[in-house]
Amino acid sequence: MEKKLSEELKQCLEGKTCGECLYYELDTEVTCPGLLQKAYKAVKEYEEMDGLYAEKCRELAAVKKTNTDEIFEKHARLTTDKDVSGMSMTELAHNCCYTKDKRARYRDYDSDIDARELAIKLLDRYAGISNKFACDEDFDEFMSGVLRFGLNNRIGLIAAFYQNLWAMADLRERLKEYEDLEEQRRLLKLPCAVGDYALFSDGDIRPVVYITVSNNHEDIVVGCQNGINISMNFQYGSWCKGFFKTRQEAEDKLAEMEGKK
C-alpha cells in the first residue's frame, strides 16, 4: 500500500530510514528540522482536507442520484398500449377513448368503434334520427348545435356523450405523448422559469435569467442576474432557499424565515 507523503515526512523528521527514498544518502543529515516540521504539518493538513473533500463528494454522489431522478417527472402511467383484453378496468377507463388515423374511437371489452359511428347509432336508436348526414363536418355541426338541448333531452345527452368521446380521445393521446417522453427520460421538470426570483440564504433576491441542463441530464443550472449560478444538485436547499413567481413572494418568504430565527 502506497504511503502518504505525510507519513514519509514524519519518518524523516524522526530520523527513521524507510530505505525507499531515491535521494537518501547515509551520510546526509537534515540541517533544518524546523523546516521539515512545517512541511509535515502543511502536508498533513492538506491530506486531511483532501479526505474530508472526498467524503463530501461521496455524500453528494449519494444524494445526486435522488436529485437527478427529481429532474425527471415520474408518475404511474395512465395510458397504455396493451390490447384491451389485457387491460384492467381502471386501465380501460383511462384508455377507452383513443385516436386512430386521426379519428376518435371508443372501445371496451366487447367493441371497438369509430366515435361518430357510435353517436349515429345512438341517435337512430334512441332519438329516431337516421343517418342523413352528407359528411363528417355536417354531422359535427349538427351535434354541436343540439348541445343546447341540455342533458334532460335525449338528443342533447347523446351530443354531450359524443363531445366527451372525442375530447377524451384527444386528451388521452396528448397525455400518452408526455408519458412516453417521461418513460424515455426526456421529460424534464424545471425548478423555475426565466423571470422567476431566487431567494438566497443571505437574504439576497435575484431574478432568473436562464436555465441550462447538463449534457448527460444529471444536473440543472439556474442562472441569475449578475452571473450567479445555482446547481440544483449541490446548492439548492442550502444556499438557494427557493424560487418564486414574484419578488413580493420572495420577500414574504424571507420575512417568514427571519421571523423564525
pLDDT in tens, the chain (261 residues): 556 666 766 666 666 655 555 455 555 555 555 655 666 676 667 667 666 656 655 665 555 544 555 555 567 899 999 999 999 999 999 999 999 999 999 999 999 999 999 999 999 999 999 999 999 999 999 999 999 999 999 999 999 999 999 999 999 999 999 999 989 888 888 999 999 999 999 999 999 999 998 877 678 999 999 999 998 887 777 889 999 999 999 999 999 998 875
The answer on 88 and 55 residing in a single domain is: no
Pair 66, 111 in one domain: no
Note whether residue 192 is domain-resident. no
- What is the rounded CA–CA span in Å between residue 58 and residue 46? 18
Question: Looking at residue 29, what is its pLDDT?
Answer: 52
Number of domains in the chain: 3
pLDDT attached to residue 236? 78
Tell me which of 135, 152, 183 is where a domain ends. 183
Q: Which of 247, 230, 226 is nearest to 239 (CA)?
A: 230
Phi-psi region of 41 (alpha: psi -120 to 50; beta: other; left: phi over 0): alpha
Q: What is the domain range of residue 233?
A: 197-259
Tell me, yes or no, whether 175 and 219 share the same domain: no
Nearest to 64 by CA among 235, 243, 238: 235
Flag whether 78 is in a domain.
no
In the chain, DSSP assigns E strands to 97-100, 103-107, 112-114, 197-200, 205-213, 220-224, 228-231, 240-244
DSSP label at residue 19: S
Same domain for 202 and 125: no
Looking at the structure, tell me whether residues 14 and 50 fall in a common domain. yes
Query: Is the domain of 223 the same as that of 244?
Result: yes
178 and 201 fall within a common domain: no
One domain, residues 148 and 63: no
Residue-level pLDDT at 259: 85
Among the candidates 125, 160, 183, a domain finishes at 183
What's the pLDDT at 32? 56
Distance CA 22, CA 8 (A): 12
